[in-house]
Structure 1
Amino acid sequence: MANELRLVEAIRQALREEMARDESVVVYGEDVGVSGGVFRATQELQEEFPEQVYDAPLAEAAILGMGVGLGATGFTPVPEIQFASFAYQGFHQLVQHASRMRSRTRGTLGVPMTVRMPYGGGIRALELHSESFEAGFAHVPGLKTVVPSNPSDAKGLLTAAIRDPDPVMFLESTSRYRASRESVPEGEHTVPLGEAEVVREGADVTVVAWGAMLHEAMSAVEDAEVDAEVIDLRTVSPMDSATILESVRKTGRCVVVHEAPRTGGLGAEIIARINDDALYHLEAPVERVTGYDVPFPMFAREEAYRPDEERIRRGIERALSA
């Protein structure tokens, strides 16, 4: 049985079902209780689970640090950071403690914490509310980093993340929260972490994207009438290199799309892996369509910064013409 849900509703359903299944699951964060969160992802959950949903003070270091303690003592914390950029205030808790607890204690303790956070542009938010920092989280050994692009994956990936024995950064595209309704399985539904999905098969070029950019890429491919294979990475760390490499060996060309700045972005890592293991299959250099190496701009310039259908289409054309 399935329901037609928006992404934000699928997130709420996953949280509700996991708290009902396991009373060790604790949801907390700034305004997540009484108000139901900035985007209402946790709306009414405190009423249903008064012993498992809590409001937290405006203190990201404390929110993440408490998750380390909760996770190491038998709880399954699911903190929400109100916007991804606010996590910088508690980054030391992730790097110094959460990510290395298992190795530090030789497997004695783990931190089964899932950190939910809205990220990315497209909603004309204020400064420090629209950044895409997935490459920074992915660079930390011991952290898994997940970015769903649709409601069904959002529920399945969040469920898998909550059940994972180690910390997971769960990034939710703000522009996709209410963008569409899609069929989402009711009840038990998981999507394995670390597995990409080929959402469109093709023979001429491989397009790799995740989160909100997956939808821009799909629109660009359809408008350009290109026989493109499109891959939704879904989990950016650990990255499913095998699916990307298999596709590139077939098509010989590749375009990587991400909203984050170009320098040091995950596009560079994907290119490096292709060069390592599929270089002789390439017919042209891998193209990157990304954000620019500037701070995410304010309202009037937001859409000029984010990759759109036209920029992606031009990237595909460059890959095909080389």
Structure 2
Amino acid sequence: MSCDVVVVGSCNIDQIAYAPRLPSVGETVHGTKYEVGFGGKGANQSVAAAKLGAKVLMVAKVGDDANGYEYIKNMESLGVNVDHITISKEACTGVAPITVVDGGANSIIIFPGANMLLSSKDVARAASAIKAAKVMVCQLEINEETSLYALKSAKEVGLMTILNPAPAPSNISDEFFKYSDIICPNENEASLLTGIDVVDKVSGTAAAEKLVEMGCNTCVVTLGENGCVFAKANMKSQHVPGIKVEAIDTTGAGDAFIGALAYFLCYFKDLGFVEILSRSCKVAAQSVTKNGTQTSYRSKNQLPVALFQ
């Protein structure tokens, strides 16, 4: 099956604890609920795009364990092409313990496991599928060299490339700027990459503009309920408003945005970039009104028809 969106990235099992607040150092807080789900930034972005109707191929690695096999089944059930999700006997499937507090804010620890064994050879084996696609999405929850190789491979055959620099490194290779058409960090990631404390649209704009000065082609900084800002060389920076909703769980909202961005760039590129960002914000906003990560993403038929006209 030919695919339009290729995502090279991570698969994690989310272990989600809900609590009134985060504990202080040395403190124990009683939780209110515990859930296990499917996560990982790469897989989340794949699912978000697939639920909107994109033809998506995932390039990833899981462990030779129950979690790994269940993960592959989950992706298949959601319409993601799993031909290039490979199984490693050398490490377990990635795990991400997550704490979600009242109001929807979250904190996450990632144990990458098999994700870090995904290699450039794994990406090279997907070369024919990549060549036939339109958009590639990468993150940094896998080996950085693998992500960079994937971006280079995509640009060589004319794909549009999106990098979600998460988790943000203390310093990022200039080559990521060279081979990424769009770099899309959230507030925390933009702060780490630029040294600017991103707390609102003004500081977000400053960070986006600095990333362009650092070599980024187009930078989009997501700002949660405040939407996003974007900057591009020789263009006026712009704020794209978000929509206010009652947040229950913000886990994976950024991935919903990235998946939607890839989808709209594939199938609605004539809308113009501002409108694409606006629609991506609206898709992401809906995800925070439900618990969970991939389970919170809406399918196309669950979203307003106007988003797809």
TM-score range, shorter chain: 0.3 to 0.5
TM-score by length of 2: 0.34
TM-score by length of 1: 0.33
